[in-house]
Structure 1
Amino acid sequence: MMTRPPSRLSRPTRPARVALLSALLPMAVLAGCASPPVRFYTLGAPAIATGAVPVTASPLATTAPVVDVGRVVLPDYLDGQDIVVRAGNQIERSASGRWASRLSVGATDLITARLAQARTDLFVSDQPQPLPATWRLTVNISRLDVTRDGAAALNADWSIVPHDPHLPILHDRASLTQSGSAATDGAVATLTQALLDQLADRIVAGWPKG
């Protein structure tokens, strides 16, 4: 009996090859246009305020005046994780950069840390405390703009509210500016932090003595 030679695999017809290439082309285009990885940025506030007196080791742990830092208020279009820049009356959101947390949370952490660093005689916290605070700090930021040409501006007002009703409530406000590069998300984050550091310095400078 004669055996038949093994048959060769038939080559796809031209229409089949065209259909296969058409199916693979979109995937190749998508692979070539893959977005860069998203990077996350913080405002640089340390988890534990450097220079602050540790509560467990401090003789002031039970007697230090307590400062309750309320969450910073920001315009709605800013209070998210998007890093944004202003171009005239337009807001441009970064496709590759995000804040590690909502901007209001990061700003609150930074101001809390800066106040704690500067005033080690106080117990400064933005977390709920079991007893009423000696002072309550509220901060309202009405403007926080960084433009493409590197001009940044911040308008804010704040109040230092004593627990003692016989003491006056202290109000203050500031209009701050900063300039630098805004060419990258990291540069925008740096400009934003510089403005908030200025704001924290103003709050510290006006804090009641003693």
Structure 2
Amino acid sequence: MMFRRVPSMAATLLAAAALAGCGSPATRFYTLSPGTPATSATIASNPPWLIELAPVDVPPQVAKSQFVVQTDANQVRVLEHDRWASLPGDEIRHALSGDLTQQLGTIDVYGAPHAAGVPVYRVSVNVQRFESWPGSHVLIDAVWSVRALGAQTAMACRSVRNEAVGEGYDAIIDGHRRAIEALSQSIASGVRALAAAPRSGARASIACP
């Protein structure tokens, strides 16, 4: 009797495990990185200047792997099965780096050695609001600065980007990508403005583009 019941118990346990697996929703991962990598045509082999994009700060309430979406002005919802491929600050930084290097035809050398004698512009971004409103809009409110390393010229600016989105979380990702691209265009204009300004030892602030 014992030998006839063991296979039956094992089959029951396997069936229960299979049912439990079927009942668990699949986790989806999203990224803000550009869909196509930069090509050699958009990035010069010897660019006239370089950028250093520092790590991006985001508000603590969204600095987690899970999607955080707004349900109203005072309430958010944390989605366990919809997650970022990496932490939001890293996602934003990687997307900005890809956009800036393409728009400026340069290289992001943050944390890497680089040749002396080439102007380097340090870019810092602090995202103060990073909101996702399903079926409505996304919002990025960022304070950013560009500083010429080895010189006293700098600019500090603020950009608020609001993009309408449709239903679904894919639409939210597309909206944030558009907002980040618009932010990168403003920052790229800032880098160009500093690059065109005279380099001197005197402290100088350049107006925001």
For the aligned pair, the TM-score class normalised by the smaller chain equals 0.7 to 0.9
Aligned residues: 180
1:81-132 CA-to-partner distances (Å, cap 9, x unmatched) read 2112111211212232111111111111111111110111x33234433567
Cα distance, 1:72 vs structure 2: 0.9
Match of 1:206 in 2: 190
Partner Cα distance (1:174, 1:40) in 2:
27
Cα distance between partner residues in 1 of 2:113 and 2:53: 11
User: Following superposition of structure 1 onto structure 2, how do residues 1-210 of structure 1 map, counting pairs within 5 Å?
Assistant: 27=16, 31=20, 34-45=23-34, 48-50=37-39, 51-53=41-43, 58=45, 60=46, 64-88=48-72, 89-120=74-105, 122-129=106-113, 134-165=120-151, 167-181=152-166, 183-207=167-191, 208=193, 209-210=195-196
- In the alignment, structure 1 segments of 5+ residues that lack a partner are 1-8, 10-19
Contact 1:94-1:185 within 8 A present in 2 as well: no
Distance 1:187 1:164 in 2: 42
1:64-91, Cα deviation, whole Å (9 max, x unpaired): 4221100111001112221121112112
- Higher helix fraction (1 or 2): 2
Structure 1 stretch displaced more, 68-77 or 132-141: 132-141
Q: 1:185 to 1:147 in 2, by over 3 A?
A: same
Compute the displacement of 1:47 (Å). Answer: 7.6
Residues 80-89 or 28-37, more deviating:
28-37
- Work out the CA distance in 1 between the residues paired with 2:38 and 2:111: 14
Helix, strand or coil at the partner of 2:62: coil
CA–CA separation in structure 1 for the residues paired with 2:64 and 2:109: 22
Structure-1-length-normalised TM-score: 0.73
The answer as to whether partners of 1:42 and 1:99 remain within 8 angstroms in 2 is yes
1:150, CA displacement in angstroms? Answer: 1.5
Among all aligned residue pairs of Structure 1 and Structure 2, give the percentage whose two residues are the same amino acid. Answer: 22
Greater Rg by CA: 1
Q: For 2:178, what is the secondary structure of its paired residue?
A: helix
Question: Following the alignment from structure 1 to structure 2, what is the Cα–Cα distance between the partners of residues 112 and 199?
Answer: 11
TM-score by length of 2: 0.73
CA RMSD of aligned residues (A): 2.8
CA offset digits 1:147-188 (Å, max 9, x no partner) = 1341222211111011133x321111112211111x322222
Indicate how the Cα distance of structure 1 residues 169 and 111 shifts in structure 2: closer, same or farther if over 3 A, else same.
Answer: same
Is the Cα–Cα contact under 8 Å of residues 139 and 179 in structure 2 kept in the other structure?
yes
